[in-house]
Structure 1
Amino acid sequence: MNKLITTCLLAFGLTNMIAAQEKSVEIRVIQTSDVHGCFFPYDFINQKSMSGSLARVSSYVKSLRKEYGDNLLLLDNGDILQGQPTCYYCNFIKPEMPNVAASVINHMGYDAQTIGNHDIETGHAVYDKWIKEVKCPMLGANIIDTTTGYPYLKPYVIFEREGVRIAVLGLTTPAIPNWLNVRLWAGLRFEDMVKSANYWTKHIIENEHPDVIIGLFHSGRDGGITTDSYDENASLRIANEVSGFDLILYGHDHKSNKENVKNNDGSNVLCLNPSSNANFVCDATIKVTLNNGKVTGKSITGEIHDIRQQPIDKEFIEIFKNDIDSVNYFVTRKIGTFKNSIYTRDSYFGSSAFCDLIHNLQLKITGADISFNAPLSFDECIKAGDVHVSDMFNLYKYENQIYVVKMTGKEIHNYLEMSYGLWTNTMQSPDDHIMLLEHNGNGADGYGFKNLAFNFDSAAGIDYEVDVTKPYEKKVRITGMTNGEPFDENKWYKVAMNSYRGNGGGELLTKGAGIPHDSLPERIIYESELDQRYYLMKEIEKAGIMAPEPNNNWHFVPKSFTEKAIIKDKKLLFGIN
Structure 2
Amino acid sequence: MTTKEKTIDLKFIETSDVHGSFFPYDFINRKPKAGSLARVATYVNQLRSQHGENVILLDNGDILQGQPVNYYSNYVDTTSANIAAQVVNYLRYDAQTIGNHDVETGHRVYDKWVSATHCPILGANVIDTKTNKPYLKPYTILKRGGARITIIGLLTPAIPNWLGENLWSGLRFEEMVSSARQWMRVVKEQEKADIVIGLFHSGKDGGITTPHYKEDAALAVAREVPGFDVVFFGHDHTRYADAVTNSEGKLVACLDPANNAMSVAQADLQLVKKKGRWCVKESLWKLVDVADLPVDNDFVDHFSAFNETVKAYANRVIGTFENTISTRDSYFGNSAFNDLILNLELSITKADVAFNAPVSFDVAIKKGPVRVADMFNLYKYENQLFVMRLTGKEIRKALEMSYDLWVNTMTSPNDHLLLLDSQTRGDQQRLGFKNFSFNFDSAAGIDYEVDVTKPNGQKVKVLKMSNGEPFDENKYYKVAVNSYRANGGGELLTRGAGIAKDDLDDRIVWRSEFDLRHYLMEEIKRLGTLNPQPNTNWRFVPEQWTQEAAKRDRQLLFHD
Q: Smaller-chain TM-score range?
A: over 0.9
Cα distance between partner residues in 1 of 2:178 and 2:459: 40
Q: 2:437 maps to what in 1?
A: 453
TM-score (norm 2): 0.98
Cα distance between partner residues in 2 of 1:272 and 1:26: 19
Q: 2:395 maps to what in 1?
A: 412
How far does residue 166 in structure 1 lie from its aligned partner after superposition? 1.2
Q: 1:472 maps to what in 2?
A: 456
Conserved 8 A contact 1:447-1:572: no
Cα distance between partner residues in 1 of 2:546 and 2:404: 16
How far does residue 443 in structure 1 lie from its aligned partner after superposition? 7.8
Taking a change above 3 Å as real, the CA distance of residues 461 and 443 of structure 1, as seen in their structure-2 partners, is farther
1:362 pairs with 336, 345, 362, which one?
345
Local SS of the residue matching 2:287: strand
Conserved 8 A contact 2:19-2:63: yes
Cα distance between partner residues in 2 of 1:209 and 1:268: 21
Cα distance between partner residues in 2 of 1:556 and 1:292: 70
How far does residue 211 in structure 1 lie from its aligned partner after superposition? 2.0
Task: Write out aligned runs for 1:71-470 (5 A).
Answer: 71-291=54-274, 293-295=276-278, 298-442=281-425, 448-470=432-454
Q: 1:5 maps to what in 2?
A: none
Cα distance between partner residues in 2 of 1:554 and 1:80: 38
TM-score (norm 1): 0.95
Give the letter aligned to residue 238 of structure 2. K
Cα distance between partner residues in 1 of 2:325 and 2:426: 19
Conserved 8 A contact 1:376-1:397: yes
Give the letter aligned to residue 450 of structure 2. V
Give the letter aligned to residue 318 of structure 1. D
Q: 2:467 maps to what in 1?
A: 483
Give structure 2 stretches of 5+ with no counterpart. Answer: none
Cα distance between partner residues in 1 of 2:312 and 2:535: 34
Q: 1:508 maps to what in 2?
A: 492
Local SS of the residue matching 1:351: coil
Conserved 8 A contact 1:480-1:487: yes
Give the letter aligned to residue 172 of structure 1. L
Give the letter aligned to residue 446 of structure 2. I
> Given the alignment of the two structures, is residue 572 of structure 1 paired with residue 523 of structure 2, yes or no?
no
How far does residue 291 in structure 1 lie from its aligned partner after superposition? 4.8
Cα distance between partner residues in 2 of 1:292 and 1:232: 39
Bigger Rg, structure 1 or 2: 1
How far does residue 442 in structure 1 lie from its aligned partner after superposition? 4.3
How far does residue 440 in structure 1 lie from its aligned partner after superposition? 4.3
Give the letter aligned to residue 436 of structure 2. L
Cα distance between partner residues in 1 of 2:343 and 2:125: 40
Q: 1:536 maps to what in 2?
A: 520
Moved beyond 4 Å, runs of 4+ = none
1:29 pairs with 3, 7, 12, which one?
12
Local SS of the residue matching 2:412: coil
Taking a change above 3 Å as real, the CA distance of residues 312 and 359 of structure 1, as seen in their structure-2 partners, is same
Conserved 8 A contact 1:374-1:453: yes
Query: Can you list the C-alpha shifts for 1:397-447, whole angstroms capped at 9, x where unaligned?
Result: 111111001101111111001101111111121111111111144489x97
How far does residue 292 in structure 1 lie from its aligned partner after superposition? 6.7
> Given the alignment of the two structures, is residue 550 of structure 1 paired with residue 530 of structure 2, yes or no?
no
Give the letter aligned to residue 539 of structure 1. E
Query: Can you list the C-alpha shifts for 1:501-555, whole angstroms capped at 9, x where unaligned?
Result: 1111111111111111111110000011111111111111111111000000011
Local SS of the residue matching 2:66: coil
Local SS of the residue matching 2:259: coil
CA RMSD of aligned residues (A): 1.3
Q: 2:511 maps to what in 1?
A: 527
Cα distance between partner residues in 2 of 1:193 and 1:296: 25
> Given the alignment of the two structures, is residue 560 of structure 1 paired with residue 544 of structure 2, yes or no?
yes
Local SS of the residue matching 2:298: helix
The more displaced of 99-108 and 237-246 is 237-246
How far does residue 98 in structure 1 lie from its aligned partner after superposition? 1.3
Give the letter aligned to residue 539 of structure 2. H
How far does residue 310 in structure 1 lie from its aligned partner after superposition? 0.9
Conserved 8 A contact 2:194-2:279: no
How far does residue 303 in structure 1 lie from its aligned partner after superposition? 0.9
Count of aligned pairs between the two proteins:
558
Cα distance between partner residues in 2 of 1:219 and 1:447: 19
How far does residue 186 in structure 1 lie from its aligned partner after superposition? 0.7
Local SS of the residue matching 1:63: helix
Give the letter aligned to residue 476 of structure 2. W
Cα distance between partner residues in 2 of 1:272 and 1:569: 33
2:479 pairs with 492, 495, 515, which one?
495
Taking a change above 3 Å as real, the CA distance of residues 66 and 520 of structure 1, as seen in their structure-2 partners, is same
Q: 1:69 maps to what in 2?
A: 52
Conserved 8 A contact 2:321-2:369: yes
